[in-house]
Amino acid sequence: MPERIENRMVVDSEWEYAGKPVHQCQICSSNIYSGDDFYNFNGDIVCDSCGWEYVRENFRQTAE
């Protein structure tokens, strides 16, 4: 029979607590936590993964 660990500090020691989200990405709606990288484009909060998508959608221009 496997040994049962009752001490919650030992059992939960590998879980990382991220806390409450600080921001939410306006493109993918993922939570942004303290310590995460993100972009703030004049108040538009975008996670690190969606940064280039935001730039392509909002700043792309065609030369004429």
CB-CB neighbours of 12 under 10 Å: 10
Q: Above 70 in pLDDT, residue 8?
A: no
* Closest listed residue to residue 47, CA positions, set 55, 38, 56, 58: 38
* Closest listed residue to residue 27, CA positions, set 50, 48, 43: 50
pLDDT given at position 17:
64
What does the alpha-carbon distance between residue 64 and residue 49 come to, in Å, rounded to a whole number? 31
How would residue 54 be classed by pLDDT, with cut points 50, 70 and 90? Answer: very high
pLDDT tens figures, 9-34: 655 555 666 689 999 999 999 999 99
